[in-house]
Amino acid sequence: MSFCVKCGAEGPVFDSVCEACFLEGKRFSRIADHVNLLQCVHCKEYAIDNKWIIHETIEGAAEEIAIDSVEVVKDAKVEEITASVLAADQANYRVHIDITMNVKGLIVEEELDTIVRLKNSVCGRCSKIKGSYFESIIQIRSRERKLKEKEVDDVLDRIDRMVCEASADNRDIFVTKVDRMVGGAGGADVYLSSNSFGKIISRDLADQYGAEVKDTAKLLTQKEGRDVYRVTYLVRLPAYRFGDVIMFRKKMYLVGPMRTSGSRLTDMKTGETINYSHIDLTDAKVIGQREDMKDAIVLMDSNREVQILHPVSMKPIELRKPNKFEVKGETVKVFLHEDEIYLIPK
């Protein structure tokens, strides 16, 4: 039978003493009288556990930082911890904490109290934004044509979505500013906080729009012993877009899916599809766009021909179907060029 070396009581011992002697005059947890809670004056996020995070309420942030500030002795293992928050005023919050610990097999319950003080601060991310910090520039340009406002909007929306998704995991990724080009060929310059993410975006745009990408780097500074470069990514969109009609090698083609390596074209007369690289297509000339195509009413449909009403003269005309062309519905899309009409596959 074990006995306490301090009081002589028989029973289980902890460090050679009984439970009562072991717990006498001891505390196994502590917290400072005051805990500072930093809140960014710009984004309103809170600094907790060396991270800036979002909280719906100040009380929620005060509870988390108070619990995070509790210290326990080496041999204590926290089993449960809860907190209640009461606002003293707009900048001070009283927090009462109940904590249950396992100390060498003993279940110990303690209470703690502290004051959480709300302090204004500026997070590193907002400091960089306010200081117009950037590590890369994505220049959206075109090749031999003027970019339309909607095209630029679509590209900028895609960049914004990518940045929003990435910043959910890494808040240091953000857009510093966007400069839209006025006049000329149009376009935009997007200033990004991250060099590496600028590369990811430029490669994505190349794959999505069949764009050409060139990059130039300039030494910016040194960080932790390594060189940091500011990189400009020139993303040049091709002269043609998905859905455009182009003249290439004396034939008319409908531009299909576009990728970094090239585009799939459909011969407007035969319906034959063929892939060309963007280098091959540098001499292609855009002669029509999707908005130039018209709806024509179908009068009769056979295996090889379709009879339609001319969308301008409203006279019946017969057109030979390109390979694999199918009529779906009461109308078809057509493209008028000079004296000819071309059926557009859906």
pLDDT of residue 142: 85
Q: What is the mean pLDDT of residues 199-209?
A: 90
| Residue pair 258/209 in contact by the 8 Å Cβ criterion | yes
Alpha carbons 145 and 184: distance in angstroms, whole number? 9
- Taking a C-beta distance cutoff of 8 angstroms, is the pair 56, 47 a contact? no
CA distances from 128 to 106, 116, 131, 135, 172 (A): 50, 28, 5, 11, 9
pLDDT number for residue 20: 66
More confident position, 97 or 284: 97
> 133-148: string of b/e by CB count within 10 Å (b at 16+)?
ebbbbbbbbbeeeebe
What is the distance between the alpha carbons of residues 79 and 258, in angstroms, rounded to a whole number?
Answer: 57
Query: Which DSSP category does 186 fall into?
Result: -
Mean pLDDT, to the nearest integer, of 171-197?
89
Residues 6+ positions from 184 with CB-CB distance below 8 Å? 146
Nearest 5°: CA angle at 230, between 210 and 129?
A: 100
Pairing of strands 29-30, 71-72: antiparallel
Burial class (CB in 10 A: 0-12, 13-18, 19+), 222: exposed
Between these two residues, 172 and 223, which has the higher pLDDT value? 172
Angstrom CA distances, 152 to 203, 245, 262, stand at: 17, 20, 21
Separation of alpha carbons 325 and 12, rounded Å: 89
Does the pLDDT at position 16 exceed 80?
A: no
pLDDT of residue 6: 65
283's CB contacts (< 8 A; 6+ apart) are 248
Percent of all residues in the chain with a pLDDT value above 70, rounded to a whole number: 95
- Residue 38 near residue 47 (C-beta atoms within 8 A): yes
pLDDT winner (highest mean) among 5-14, 43-52, 334-343: 43-52
Q: Say which residue, 239 or 333, is predicted with more confidence.
A: 333
The answer to whether residue 15 scores a pLDDT higher than 80 is no
- Tens of pLDDT, residue by residue over 265-310, are 988 888 888 898 887 887 788 888 888 889 989 898 888 888 988 9
- The pLDDT tens digits of the residues spanning 45-84 come to 999 998 999 999 999 999 999 999 999 988 889 999 999 9
Predicted pLDDT at 61: 96
Residue in this structure with the two tokens 């531009």, named with its chain if needed: 255
Query: Domain spans of the chain?
Result: 19-123, 132-237, 241-283, 293-346
pTM, 2 dp: 0.66
